[in-house]
Amino acid sequence: MNELALIVFAPLVAGALAWLLDVKGIKEAIGLIGAAVPLAYTAMLYERASEGISFAVNLGVFDITFRLGQLNWFFVGIAVLVGFSAVLALVSTAKDSYEWLFALMSLSGVLGVFLAADLMTFFIFWEVMTFASFMMVLHYNRSASLKYFLLSVAGAYAMLIAITFIYAKVGSFDFGAVQTVFAQDAYAKMLGGQATFSSTELMALFGLFLVAFGVKAGMFPLHVWAPDAYSETNQSYTSMFSGVLSKAGVYGFILMYILIGTRLAVEFGAFRSASKFGYIIAFLGGLTIIVGGLLAALQEDIRKLFAYSSISQVGYILVGIGVGTALSMQAALFHALSHALFKGLFFLIVATIVHRTGKTTFADMGGLAEKMPFTFAMAFVAILSLAGIPPLVGFASKWVLFEAVISQNLPILGGMVFFGSAIGFVYLIRFTYAVWFGQRPTDLDDTKDAPLPLAIAMTILALFNVVLGIAPGLVAKELNKMFGKEIIGGNLFVLDLGFGKYNALAILIYLIAGLIVAAVIYFLGAKVRRVPVTDTYQSGNPVTMDYNLTIRRNFFLPLKEALAFWLRISFDRLYRDIGAWVEDLAEVLRNYIYNGNVQSYAWYLLIILLILAMWGV
């Protein structure tokens, strides 16, 4: 039995067994084993990832092939780590065995996507992943799941058309063969020869892949499914959904670079210092950051807030991929890892809050830090990491990304990513304050801390957030292996880009020293005044009661009013209107054409016969 097959199929088999047995205690154990096997094997294969392991099954019509290289190992590592934590959290939040089946099935799907070595395998596992996650959402909310399903199907068809298109011309699904053909095309184009694909076909291919991977990654304007789907399912599962499954879209974009990037770059030329097609991806990524961030700030529901924030963070990764230098690619991969870590952690925290209080809106919460100290500590780590505060992993990855964008002199994209970071603080302060501090509603007085499985899952992810944050060199080493040369220099604690350095250890030491100084001042008796919650000011004036913006209700109402014009433009509404319009059109056609009058059907027959006669059939 090959290790790769075990990694991919173990969760699926475990999920099916858990669903069939459906005994309390046993199904949890089976599910955990199913998620732990890929984790163990991925850790064991770390040494051998560079030599490249393959696995193939012949299904008669086509082969299912897997290959493990450095890049695949990196993504598989993210998937098994966050996936294992999410499955562990499911132990305390899963409603029934149905969820075990589909959560593990989607883990199998995403592992298959990351390990696929040909386009057909990639597509099959992509669909397994989509189907399983759709079923997870369907369990909680039908309309959200249908929205997700529709957009996913549009993406999947786009990908299928692109794949058949490539197969028709290349004659092989294998990544290596496809890559070779496109590279040869690029040379031929450069020397003015004949290429296999014309430039119109290439543009179509690029557009199709953009739609296919953009849907899964939650790229603007295809992001509309994500807020609903992320918030309307088991929140433990969402940590995998947002942390890992959205990375499948990111992986797809990187794959697009690997397969047809050379040809695209040659064909469409450059825009400023990025390639033109990459700039399109980066610009859409930038819009994703801004739109996701602003909408996250306006949400009144915790789950929705993090769903939008998740979209916003994936935007960073897209910017990194789009800029397309080796450094920005590394930054994108680094941010993919850190996003999976802190966003997985965030959704586990949300799962804990929802599990323990049963409430989801800010208005019903407050003062939970005293009641759930452990969860609060975890939330503290996650908040620092997402906001990008050293010495956590979120800072390191964002810093590399900013440096990558700035070093390429791309002012518009730079402005977008910096704006995204600022807006990140805006929505995080809301979460920090409204949930953990302030006055506690009396019905939350007997809230307990996180159950053990959730606590362990959170601890795993939080540890990785801290460790990889203090030692970003660990990640940098992996990324450099992928590219085969040292792009991010430095050692275990220092990232050195040649034009900038980030020393995580030094910053950690300064931080601890600063905290000690602050503690000394506090305990020596600094003047302290207890601030009541109502002590808020607006431009230096006390707030009147008729404009009551507490942190828990309408805190960002002024922002909402300022953005009123832009909020009227909503892609979600646009898609819904298009859907309603199509339905109306179909209804009208049905009424006029299929009208129940036999004689009009006879007329249609006559008309068709006449048309055929004129054609000379």
Give the binding site for another protein (CB under 8 A): 596-599, 602-603, 606
Closer of 194 and 599 to another protein (Cβ): 599
Min separation Cβ 596 and another protein, Å:
6
Residue pointed to by tokens 């092939």: 65
Task: Compare residues 580 and 606 and give the one whose CB is closer to another protein.
Answer: 606
Residues 6+ apart with CB under 8 A from 346: 239, 306, 309, 379, 382, 386
State the minimum distance, in angstroms, from the CB of residue 605 to another protein: 9
Residues 6 or more apart whose CB falls under 8 angstroms from that of 342 comprise 382, 385, 386, 392, 393, 394, 461, 465
In the 3-class helix/strand/coil scheme, how is 97-148 assigned residue by residue?
A: HHHHHHHHHHHHHHHHHHHECEHHHHHHHHHHHHHHHHHHHHCCCHHHHHHH
- Residue 59 or 602: the one with the smaller Cβ distance to another protein is 602
C-alpha of 4 from chain center: 24
CB of 603 to another protein, least distance (A): 6
Question: Residue 583 Cβ, how far from another protein at the closest point, in Å?
Answer: 24
Cβ 597 to another protein shortest distance, Å: 7
Helix spans in 524-570 (H): 557-562, 564-567
Query: Which two tokens mark 185?
Result: 């095309």
Which ranges constitute the DSSP H helices of 234-275?
235-240, 246-268
442 vs 597 by CB, closer to another protein: 597
- Specify the residue, 541 or 599, whose C-beta has the smaller distance to another protein: 599
Taking the least distance from each CB to another protein, the nearer of 569 and 598 is 598
Q: Are 134 and 145 in contact (CB under 8 A)?
A: yes
Residues in the chain: 617
The HSE-up count of residue 123 (CA atoms within 13 Å, CB side) is 21
Closest distance of CB 600 from another protein, Å: 9
Residue 191 has what DSSP assignment? T
What is the rounded end-to-end Cα distance, in angstroms, of the chain?
A: 60
Given the complex with another protein, which of 566 and 603 has the nearer CB atom? 603
Would you state the structure tokens that stand for residue 438, as one six-digit string? 């302030």
Smallest gap from Cβ 609 to another protein, in A, equals: 9
Residue with smaller CB distance to another protein, 26 or 611: 611
CB of 602 to another protein, least distance (A): 5
